[in-house]
């Protein structure tokens, strides 16, 4: 495991107290560390707007990063200067903004999705079904709790998704028998863990753990897709059962795509792209799709309409008129 500097540990500890996810902490530390190394390891307190501007320019001119990546770097540095250095950056930084065009999403046809699912390891079939059937991001899928599945209203509740937003998404009724079976498996793990004197219960946000001290050992709060092994909580060292690792999901989907001879570059996010595109193809309103995906701006959702407007679904080729 790579060791951090005492300063980066200070930032990480502060972010933990503010209940940032471990993934967000790693992302912010990456950009803060990159900023410090870019300026020959100068201490952030000796730098400010000018140095941040130079770094953001470098990311565009030398690294050719996307607008989204540049924005993430800026967010990390803004956090650093606001909460750690205690000297906020100017709101009018004059850095070069990335103009790199976002890539059009890779989308599978319904037949390709069906083929991919047929080659998936059964251990990952249900989670892939939720990503395609409900438009979930991989982290949203692996972090689902048992109580997030609403069988009565046939929906899935997503808490603290990207941007810390909550939303309710559709649930394919065909997945219900598998979901009930998955909950039984989660309960079996829980009953086994409760016999372990070192088991500290499932991880819960600090505020909820204080408000409901016994909830971490209740079935409702257990991860829907529990890990096969117990592990130490990286923040506290307590023994807990984590959820599926997203890397395992990615590898399983990639392997299934190879076995299915699908030549497109397939990732878990391809299932989410396909969900959105197929919803639009079936006549769903773009605002509905926006809500399902959890996009703040409908412009983000509109990229899927660009996919549908390619080829025969958009402009008719002049060759077709003469042949």
**Which residues are catalytically annotated?**
137, 162, 269, 272, 295, 304
Angle (nearest 5°) at CA 141 between 181 and 70: 175
Q: Are strands 167-170 and 226-232 parallel, antiparallel or unpaired?
A: unpaired
Phi, psi values for residue 66, rounded to 5°: -75, 160
State the alpha helices, DSSP H only, in 195-231.
206-211
Q: Which residues pair with 305 in a beta bridge?
A: none
DSSP 68: H
> How far is C-alpha 222 from the chain's CA centre?
19
Separation between Cα atoms, residue 298 and residue 319, nearest integer Å: 34
Separation between Cα atoms, residue 165 and residue 288, nearest integer Å: 16
Closest CA to 131 of 57, 225, 197: 225
Separation between Cα atoms, residue 1 and residue 41, nearest integer Å: 21
Closest CA to 220 of 205, 239, 232, 202: 202
């Amino acid at each position: 495991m790579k060791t951090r500097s005492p300063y980066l540990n200070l930032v990480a500890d502060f972010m933990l107290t503010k209940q940032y996810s471990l993934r967000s902490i790693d992302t912010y530390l990456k950009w803060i560390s990159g900023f410090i190394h870019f300026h020959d390891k100068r201490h952030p307190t000796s730098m400010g707007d000018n140095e941040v501007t130079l770094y953001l320019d470098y990311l565009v001119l030398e690294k050719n990063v996307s607008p989204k990546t540049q924005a993430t770097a800026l967010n990390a540095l803004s956090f650093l200067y606001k909460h750690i250095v205690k000297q906020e950056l100017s709101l009018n930084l004059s850095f070069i903004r990335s103009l790199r065009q976002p890539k059009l999403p890779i989308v599978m046809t319904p037949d390709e999705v069906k083929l991919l699912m047929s080659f998936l390891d059964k251990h990952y079939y249900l989670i892939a079904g939720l990503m395609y059937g409900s438009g979930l991001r991989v982290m949203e899928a692996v972090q689902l709790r048992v109580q997030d599945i609403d069988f009565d209203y046939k929906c899935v509740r997503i808490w603290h998704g990207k941007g810390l937003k909550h939303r309710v998404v559709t649930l394919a009724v065909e997945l219900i028998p598998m979901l009930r079976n998955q909950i039984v498996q989660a309960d079996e793990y829980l009953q086994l863990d409760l016999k372990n004197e070192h088991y500290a219960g499932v991880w819960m946000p600090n505020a909820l753990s204080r408000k409901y001290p016994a909830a971490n050992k209740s079935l409702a709060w257990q991860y829907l897709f529990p890990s096969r092994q117990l592990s130490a909580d990286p923040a506290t060292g307590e023994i807990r059962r984590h959820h599926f690792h997203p890397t395992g999901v990615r590898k399983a989907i990639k392997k299934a795509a190879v076995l299915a001879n699908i030549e497109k570059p397939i990732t878990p996010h391809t299932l989410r792209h396909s969900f959105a595109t197929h919803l639009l193809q079936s006549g769903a309103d773009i605002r509905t799709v926006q809500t399902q995906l959890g996009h703040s701006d409908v412009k983000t959702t509109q990229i899927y309409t660009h996919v549908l407007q390619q080829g025969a679904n958009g402009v008719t080729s002049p060759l077709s008129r003469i042949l």
